[in-house]
Structure formats: C-alpha cells, structure tokens
Amino acid sequence: MSAIPMTSERPAFGSIALKAVMALTGLVLYGFVFVHMVGNLQLYSGPEKINRYAAFLKATPALLWGFRAVLLGAVSLHAVAAIILWRRNRAAPPDGSASPDLQAATITSRTMYWTGPMLGLFIVYHLLHLTVGSVHQGPFSHTDVYSNVVIAFSNPAVSIFYVLAMVALGFHIFHGAVSLFQTLGLKTPKYEKPLKAVLMAVSTVIVVVNISFPIAVLAGLVRPVAS
Ligand code: HEM
C-alpha cells in the first residue's frame, strides 16, 4: 500500500493561477523598468531636459497617483504570489509526486528567490533615496532630479550598491521573462534557444544602460551643474 494519499487537497488558488498573476504583474513591472530606463537616458542631455521631463510627469497628480497605485498593486501582487509559490514549492514532496500544476510552478530558477527580495529592498531604498529624499546624502530638491542623481552617484559606495542591484535586476528580469513565456505556453522546444537569446539581449541592454548612469557620474561624464 502506498504511503502517499491518493487524493490530495487542492489549494484554493491553483499554482498555475498564481503563475499567471506573476506573469501579468511581471509584464507591467518589466514595462515600467524599460520606460524608466529610457526616461533616465535624458540625464545625458543635461539638467533642463530631465528636470522638465520629471516636472511633466508630476504635472497631473491624478495621473501620477493612478500610475503609482498600479505600480504598487503590481509589486504587491507579484511579491505575495511569489511567497505563496515559494512556500508551496518548499512543502512539495521531493519525489515528484506533487500535482502537475505544482510541478509546473516549481520549474523556475532559484535565482528568483534571492534576486526578488534584493530588488524589493532596492526599491524601498531607491524611493527613499531619489523620490522622497530622506536617505539622500547632500542637498535634495523635488524639482532638480538631475542634481539629485549626480550628487547621489558621486558617492562611490552608493554607486556600487546601484551597480550590484542592477546585476540582480538583470538576473531577475531574464529568468522572469523566460518564466513568463513558459506560463504563456510560448517556450516551445523549437523557439527556446532564439527566445532566450532575445531575452538575454534585452536584459543585458537594460542592465548596461542603468549601470552606465552611476559610472558616467563617477567618470565625470555627467557633471554637477556649475554654480
Ligand atoms: C541607475 C538606475 C536608475 C536611476 C538613475 C533611477 C532614477 C530615478 C529617479 C531620479 C527617480 C525620481 C524621479 C522623480 O522624482 O521625478 C526615480 C524614481 C523611481 N524609480 Fe528609479 N532609477 C533607476 C533604476 C530603477 C529601477 C531598476 C527601478 C525598479 C526596479 C526603479 C524604480 C523607480 C520607482 C518605482 C520610482 C518612483 C516613481 C514615482 O515617482 O512614482 N528605478 N528613479
């Protein structure tokens, strides 16, 4: 007689449904990271352009707060679904007798479970650093985004922290995007290799561009505004 019960109680919210939540919210966050990176490229065009862009984004509070609510909702759902899946994966029997949908949910890279929390901490720090300004070292202005960034990255320790966080971001968005295509059933054996190559290229571009900001400040290519 088998020690494994023939019928297992199905969780209220299926693991595939949780993966779908992760995929949808991940897509929203991926889009934000990309658009944010493109917006930050204006750092290379000098203070007027990026400060005008920031002022434009903040000009309609209803739009700004609506957008922030969507982002916060996406991050929260993404994290909660990840924690539930992680707990289920830990509880799953190691002999492969878990239900098929739970097994599907376990097919994800382990790196997600350390890069995810690391990014969560980065986002909290980053908001306090460059949006609220409470942990920003040096003068902080809600209208002079350019100077905030230049002052911030002039500190090598801060820059190194950002570079490390961007490397974690790269791992996370690469594996996350592969996982997304798998959830959508689009990671077929025929397309797996080219798909991974494209996702790796996009993730690398995002990491390299983001890392270029602290490096450009430290190298003196992006300088403080002359007073
Ligand atoms: C080196 C790379 C980055 C730079 C230079 C940067 C710069 C900035 C700056 C200057 C702001 C404040 C904008 C303002 O007040 O108008 C900001 C806000 C923000 N950043 Fe970044 N960022 C970087 C990477 C990231 C990454 C990787 C994420 C997400 C994983 C992120 C998420 C956010 C969020 C959520 C906000 C708040 C947006 C809002 O005001 O609602 N940033 N960032």
Nearest CA to ligand 1 atom 32: 123
DSSP symbol at 129: I
224 in a structural domain = no
Say how many Å lie between the CA of residue 178 and the centre of ligand 1.
24
82 in a structural domain = yes
41 in a structural domain = yes
Q: What is the pLDDT of residues 190-215, one digit of tens each?
A: 899 999 999 999 999 999 999 999 99
Number of domains, the chain: 1
- Which atom of ligand 1 lies nearest, measured to the CA of 122? 30
Q: What is the pLDDT of residues 63-119, one digit of tens each?
A: 999 999 999 999 999 999 999 988 887 876 665 555 554 454 444 467 888 899 999
Length of the chain: 227
Query: What local confidence, expressed as pLDDT, does residue 151 receive?
Result: 97
Q: Quick one: CA torsion of 159, 74, 27, 161, rounded to 10 degrees? A: 10
Judge residue 90's burial from the number of C-beta atoms within 10 Å of its C-beta, 0-12 exposed, 13-18 middle, 19 or more buried.
exposed
160 in a structural domain = yes
86 in a structural domain = yes
CATH number, domain containing residue 121: 1.20.1300.10
Query: What local confidence, expressed as pLDDT, does residue 9 receive?
Result: 57
- Which atom of ligand 1 lies nearest, measured to the CA of 32? 29
1 in a structural domain = no
Rounded Cα gap, residues 139 and 24, in angstroms: 38
What percentage of the chain reaches a pLDDT higher than 90? 74
Q: Which of 36, 65, 174, 217 to mutate to test the pocket of ligand 1 (most atoms within 8 A of CB)?
A: 36
Q: What is the pLDDT of residues 212-222, one digit of tens each?
A: 999 999 999 99
Rounded Cα gap, residues 201 and 127, in angstroms: 27
Q: Which residues contact 140 (CB under 8 A, 6 or more apart)?
A: 133, 148, 151
Q: What is the pLDDT of residues 15-74, one digit of tens each?
A: 889 999 999 999 999 999 999 999 999 999 999 999 999 999 999 999 999 999 999 999
DSSP symbol at 172: H
Residues with CB under 6 A from ligand 1: 33, 36, 40, 54, 68, 71, 119, 123, 126-127, 130-131, 145, 148-149, 162, 169, 210, 213
Q: Which of 30, 126, 218 to mutate to test the pocket of ligand 1 (most atoms within 8 A of CB)?
A: 126
156 in a structural domain = yes
The residue segments making up the domain with residue 68 are 15-218
Say how many Å lie between the CA of residue 130 and the centre of ligand 1.
7
Say how many Å lie between the CA of residue 199 and the centre of ligand 1.
22
Contact 22, 172 (CB under 8 A): no
- Which atom of ligand 1 lies nearest, measured to the CA of 58? 16
- Which atom of ligand 1 lies nearest, measured to the CA of 153? 5
Rounded Cα gap, residues 212 and 224, in angstroms: 16
227 in a structural domain = no
Contact 195, 187 (CB under 8 A): yes
Query: What local confidence, expressed as pLDDT, does residue 195 receive?
Result: 95
Query: What local confidence, expressed as pLDDT, does residue 82 receive?
Result: 92
Q: What is the pTM of this model?
A: 0.89
Q: Which of 76, 131, 161, 207 to mutate to test the pocket of ligand 1 (most atoms within 8 A of CB)?
A: 131
